[in-house]
Amino acid sequence: MEKVDYDARLHTVYTAGRRMSPDALQRWMESFARHLPERRPLTWLDLGSGTGRMAPALASAFGGPVHGIEPSDKMRAQALAHAVHPAVDYAAGSAERIPLPDASCDAALLFFVWHHVSDRESAARELHRVVKPGGRLFVQTNFADRMPDVWWFRVVPEWREADLAQFRSREAVTSDFTGAGWTLLSRDEVTWPRSASLSEDFERLKLRAVSVFEHLSAEAAEAGFARIEAALPTLDDGPQYETNELLVFQR
C-alpha cells in the first residue's frame, strides 16, 4: 500500500481531528505505568511523535525527558508550535534511524505508528539499540485479525475494508519484535473516551485526519459521509469509546 504523506494534508487537520481529552490521555498513562518501575523520572522515546499528541502527557506522567522523533517536517513543526513541554524535545528521524545514543531510554512508545514503518526489521533492531536493558517498548496498533469496533465502519463497511488493508495480524506484528530480540511481556486492552458525543466524533471525522482517507477516492469518501449523515438519527449520540490492544515488550 502507498505510503501516507503527512506533509501533504494531514498535518493541517491532525491535531484537531485526533486530539485526546485529559481523561483519555490519563487512561493511556495508567496503562503504561502498570508495566514500568515506580522510580521517576523515566526517559522516553516517542517514535512517530507527530503533532505531539502523547509526548507532553508522557513527560508530565513520568518526568522525562521525552524525545519525540518524527519524520514529517510539517507534523513536527505543529508539535514544536503547539505541544511544548519543558521536558520534551522534538527531532527529525525515522524508525530505521533514531538519532539517540545506545541504551538511552527507559521506555519507548509507538502509538499508531507501526503500520507506517517500511523496514520493520531494521526498525525493531534500532529500537532495541536505544532502549536500556530491562526497558519497555509499548506498541499500540490495529491488527488485521482483531480490528476495533468503530461505529463509522459499521455504517460504511467499504471504508473498513480499505482500513483493514493497512494492517497485519497480531502474530505478524509480535514476530517483528521478538525476531529482533524483544520479549513479549503482555497483551493489554485499553478502553478510552474518544469523544464526548457521536456528534463531536462525526465533526472530527469529517476533517479526514484518519489515515484511511488517504487510501480512499474523493468519491468514496463523500458517498460514505452522505450515508453517515442519513444514519445519524438512528445512532446513539452518547459518549464514544474505543478499545485498543497494547503490546508490551521488554528489552
pLDDT per residue, tens digit, the chain (251 aa), is: 678 999 999 999 999 999 999 999 999 999 999 999 999 999 999 999 999 999 999 999 999 999 999 999 999 999 999 999 999 999 999 999 999 999 999 999 999 999 999 999 999 999 999 999 999 999 999 999 999 999 999 999 999 999 999 999 999 999 999 999 999 999 999 999 999 999 999 999 999 999 999 999 999 999 999 999 999 999 999 999 999 999 999 99
pLDDT of 3: 84
For cell 525476531, the residue is 179
Q: What's the rounded Cα separation, in Å, for the pair 89 and 65?
A: 8
Return the H-helix or E-strand segment holding 13: helix 11-18
232 DSSP assignment: G
Q: What's the rounded Cα separation, in Å, for the pair 97 and 95?
A: 6
- Topology adopted by domain 6-146+167-196+242-250: Rossmann fold (3.40.50)
Q: What's the rounded Cα separation, in Å, for the pair 53 and 55?
A: 6
